A and B are shown apart, each in its own frame.
Chain A
């Protein structure tokens, strides 16, 4: 492509997306109607493993349990209620049009396809928009305390990338409340005996028997024992891989191990370079930093982003007169202003900092200023809307955002890429389904705000429970015992890896190497990517990997609770995944959404897509350790939304 030399072999694999035929608004109905069903009396005979208990995994466990399947649910935390979905702040989108402001399923579909910079699968996105309305109904019925108006009806706020108000919220704790709704529904099934919960278990391999996913190998994180679990299907809902970058807004235990091990068992990994950098995070304060804290995008409803006009202006914010402030988002994007999508806002922040106009000690931050809205609405209204976020900000920075503007900077937040799935959410390993952030399916090259919660719950409550029965009813699934060779082989490979980690006995901590990898990825595979920087990353990551395996220190044994062993295993996987992210970024010779190649931009510095060469999903196939993975392609067709240069002006 473009005459440039290819370094990754091109695959010839035909990826069957299994998109139903017919007009786009009828596809989901048609899929459900064409699906084979499992008789209620037969459902308990099927065992379904679900890994992860966030919005996608928790909702799927609850729903499949209610339907009568025998569900085994696994999470690494001490309780399923702690999955990282809980940290989502701002809200969840739904095409309810309660505001009567012109919203509809079609508009949510359109906004999401456009927001994803025309790199998502249209049929999946339309389905997402369709089920969004049922999600809100379901959550309200569960007792989720959404914000309401004085008349008692549900309130909405606006969010980036949309000109309608379609975001439902529960203060700044929307993810928490939605997750608790799913968790409670799942615990109800635990009480009813349909769901069996395995907290503090980490999946370390997926077991494939006769070409189908038939179980997992998991480590009991309390005792250290390696255990085998058999099932008729395996659902991964283990979240994204943002922590490959070391500093991200993800929880510290969020990791890529489950999807990475599935990749190495034959599941294709799609668009790994589509990573989202969130524009409003609290800036880094020092080397000790263990994670970055997000300030919800909803703040951009009432906060104005600015930097000084002059480079090197070190005066405190209060001393910079109005005329010397550059509200650069409002200036560059008058139609959307401070509510441009995340990728656009992040790049704009980087651009002003690169010009030397960044603020704070490091010059790597911009102001998010509430003075104008506090003046207009009063401090009480702002406190009601964002009280907990302001409190969180003050705790971390020791600065009062009611008095002085917040300082924010972009950080890795979400990964649009993930395991490749067909329309039914099944990966290239039959019987292995992937839900939520762990799959690649709905957000294209950029996710709009308040859409992650929507997708997690759509996959968990509505999509997987409708598509899984079709697989179970149509597949031949003879009983597989725990002593099957495939289980024995998978367990042996897991044990071997753990033993190897324990036996190095070096002097470098897993975190030191993770921090080095993260910085390399952030600098070279972050907001501005270039061919030399990507090649540099590809040259350096293998050395880092060698260093890890030669010098890592993992004290203690594997036969006990050992957080350092858990962490070392995850870092070992990041050291492989990081390379795939860089390779995918190198091969995608265009800019789109969160993937910004500096070589490909418009004269006014916007992302320049190459639709002719890259209107496709890159689905990477593992080809063995040391071999370059194979780049397969799923072409994307845009029949309902015509791709255009995204404009938020």
Chain B
């Protein structure tokens, strides 16, 4: 595959760009073996060498696990590949002459800090409200004291695979955090270690989700479609069951 020439339409906001607008850039001589972020690196290299402010975007591990990268590519969080972060997207998915739009996550709970960078601190606050097991260091029983059936452990791992990137929120027309919260509530409700606090956890996390400005879930399943770890919306159903269970039994108040 030959190298490509592309046009980028990139959201620039803050600094010399003020309130935010789309700005066109040429991405010339792009190798199909580059990752999407490496393509942006090359564009930035040219800007920096010319003394112009480079495009600011988040990334860190560049192998799909840290959850830092967060670009909406042609209208889709993390771009066209299923089960993938944008750092794992490669330019062989595009063709010569394409125009690519690049925008940040859009959600009231994730304010833009600059260009393509948003603040996802709301996710940290959700975890701080109950996304844990209360066990102080040093007080744990032997690791094999409580056998956990393999299928349960696997189901918990499926939910625990969430990388906290926020694509689910960015894809949702309501900007709901239900998949993120559902994944954590499910992981800890499936494992016996999470049982003592399951009702309080469901209550606290669901209540805070509303307060932080995330919308409600209306079952569009857009979140599942863009989730790089392909977390199932069955976790949202489990979160609701946990929440209703807490309400009905009065537990965890």
Nearest B residue (CB) for A182: B137
Nearest B residue (CB) for A291: B62
Known contacts A222-B113, A562-B53, A564-B48, then 4 further A-B pairs from the complex at CB < 8 Å, ordered by chain A residue: A138-B140, A398-B90, A505-B51, A510-B48
Rounded to whole angstroms, the CA-CA distance of A170 and B156 in the bound complex is 11
**A145-B156, A253-B60, A286-B31 known; A184 vs B127 contact (CB < 8 Å):** yes
Q: What are the 7 A-B residue pairs with the smallest beta carbon separation, nearest first?
A: A152-B147, A141-B140, A184-B132, A191-B128, A137-B140, A145-B157, A187-B128
A96–B150 touching, CB < 8 Å? no
Check A199 for interface membership: any CB of B closer than 8 A. yes
A153–B31 touching, CB < 8 Å? no
Rounded to whole angstroms, the CA-CA distance of A509 and B41 in the bound complex is 11
A84–B48 touching, CB < 8 Å? no
Residues on B with C-beta less than 8 A from A105 are none
Nearest Cβ distance between residue A326 and chain B, in whole angstroms? 28
Give chain B interface residues in 28-83, CB to chain A under 8 Å: 31, 33-35, 37-39, 41-42, 44-45, 47-49, 51-54, 56, 58-68, 81, 83
Residues on B with C-beta less than 8 A from A140 are 140, 143, 146, 193
25 CB < 8 A contacts A-B: A78-B68, A78-B121, A79-B120, A80-B124, A138-B135, A138-B138, A139-B143, A140-B193, A142-B135, A143-B188, A145-B156, A152-B150, A153-B144, A177-B157, A184-B132, A188-B128, A222-B113, A252-B59, A253-B60, A286-B34, A290-B62, A291-B63, A293-B62, A554-B48, A564-B48
Q: Could you say which of A136, A152, A251 contacts B61, with CB atoms under 8 Å apart?
A: A251
Nearest Cβ distance between residue A224 and chain B, in whole angstroms? 10
B60–A84 touching, CB < 8 Å? yes
Check B191 for interface membership: any CB of A closer than 8 A. yes
Check B210 for interface membership: any CB of A closer than 8 A. no
Rounded to whole angstroms, the CA-CA distance of A151 and B47 in the bound complex is 58
B66–A191 touching, CB < 8 Å? no
A84–B128 touching, CB < 8 Å? no
Check A637 for interface membership: any CB of B closer than 8 A. no
**A82-B68, A288-B42, A507-B49 known; A137 vs B14 contact (CB < 8 Å):** no
Nearest B residue (CB) for A391: B83
Nearest Cβ distance between residue A155 and chain B, in whole angstroms? 9
Nearest Cβ distance between residue A84 and chain B, in whole angstroms? 7
**A136-B143, A555-B52 known; A141 vs B129 contact (CB < 8 Å):** no
Check A31 for interface membership: any CB of B closer than 8 A. no
Check B22 for interface membership: any CB of A closer than 8 A. no
Check A81 for interface membership: any CB of B closer than 8 A. yes
Q: How many A-B residue pairs have CB under 8 A?
A: 236
Taking chain B's interface residues, is the majority helix, strand, or loop, or is none over half, making it mixed? Answer: loop
B142–A555 touching, CB < 8 Å? no
Nearest A residue (CB) for B156: A145
Q: Could you say which of A84, A143, A288, A555 contacts B34, with CB atoms under 8 Å apart?
A: A288
Give chain B interface residues in 194-219, CB to chain A under 8 Å: 194
Nearest Cβ distance between residue B68 and chain A, in whole angstroms? 5
Rounded to whole angstroms, the CA-CA distance of A185 and B188 in the bound complex is 13
Check A314 for interface membership: any CB of B closer than 8 A. no
Q: Could you say which of A180, A286, A511 contacts B41, with CB atoms under 8 Å apart?
A: A511
Nearest Cβ distance between residue A154 and chain B, in whole angstroms? 6
Rounded to whole angstroms, the CA-CA distance of A150 and B153 in the bound complex is 10
Rounded to whole angstroms, the CA-CA distance of A36 and B200 in the bound complex is 38
Residues on A with C-beta less than 8 A from B58 are 78
Q: Could you say which of B47, B81, B133 contacts A143, with CB atoms under 8 Å apart?
A: B133
A82–B150 touching, CB < 8 Å? no
A187–B140 touching, CB < 8 Å? no
A142–B117 touching, CB < 8 Å? no
Q: Could you say which of A294, A553, A561 contacts B114, with CB atoms under 8 Å apart?
A: A561
Residues on B with C-beta less than 8 A from A173 are 65, 161
Check A190 for interface membership: any CB of B closer than 8 A. yes
Residues on A with C-beta less than 8 A from B117 are 78, 561
Residues on B with C-beta less than 8 A from A507 are 49, 51
Check A183 for interface membership: any CB of B closer than 8 A. yes
**A140-B193, A505-B51, A509-B49 known; A145 vs B62 contact (CB < 8 Å):** no
Nearest A residue (CB) for B153: A148
Rounded to whole angstroms, the CA-CA distance of A644 and B67 in the bound complex is 44
Nearest Cβ distance between residue B36 and chain A, in whole angstroms? 11
Nearest Cβ distance between residue B92 and chain A, in whole angstroms? 6
Nearest B residue (CB) for A250: B61
Rounded to whole angstroms, the CA-CA distance of A222 and B147 in the bound complex is 46
Nearest Cβ distance between residue A485 and chain B, in whole angstroms? 34
A556–B60 touching, CB < 8 Å? no
Residues on B with C-beta less than 8 A from A151 are 147
Rounded to whole angstroms, the CA-CA distance of A449 and B42 in the bound complex is 34
Rounded to whole angstroms, the CA-CA distance of A562 and B57 in the bound complex is 10
Residues on B with C-beta less than 8 A from A145 are 153-154, 156-157, 160, 187, 191
B88–A395 touching, CB < 8 Å? yes
Residues on A with C-beta less than 8 A from B143 are 96, 136-137, 139-140, 146, 154
A142–B35 touching, CB < 8 Å? no
B124–A176 touching, CB < 8 Å? no
A86–B38 touching, CB < 8 Å? no
Residues on A with C-beta less than 8 A from B33 are 285-286, 288
B167-185 Cβ-contact flags toward A at 8 Å (1 or 0): 0000000000000000000
Rounded to whole angstroms, the CA-CA distance of A334 and B49 in the bound complex is 53
Most buried by A among B31, B143, B147: B143
Q: Could you say which of A134, A149, A199 contacts B140, with CB atoms under 8 Å apart?
A: A134
**A148-B150, A564-B54 known; A66 vs B144 contact (CB < 8 Å):** no
Q: Could you say which of A66, A170, A184, A395 contacts B157, with CB atoms under 8 Å apart?
A: A170
Residues on B with C-beta less than 8 A from A42 are none
Check B163 for interface membership: any CB of A closer than 8 A. yes
**A465-B137, A563-B54 known; A146 vs B153 contact (CB < 8 Å):** yes
Check A338 for interface membership: any CB of B closer than 8 A. no
Check A62 for interface membership: any CB of B closer than 8 A. yes
Rounded to whole angstroms, the CA-CA distance of A612 and B114 in the bound complex is 57
A87–B164 touching, CB < 8 Å? no
Nearest Cβ distance between residue A550 and chain B, in whole angstroms? 15
Check B18 for interface membership: any CB of A closer than 8 A. no
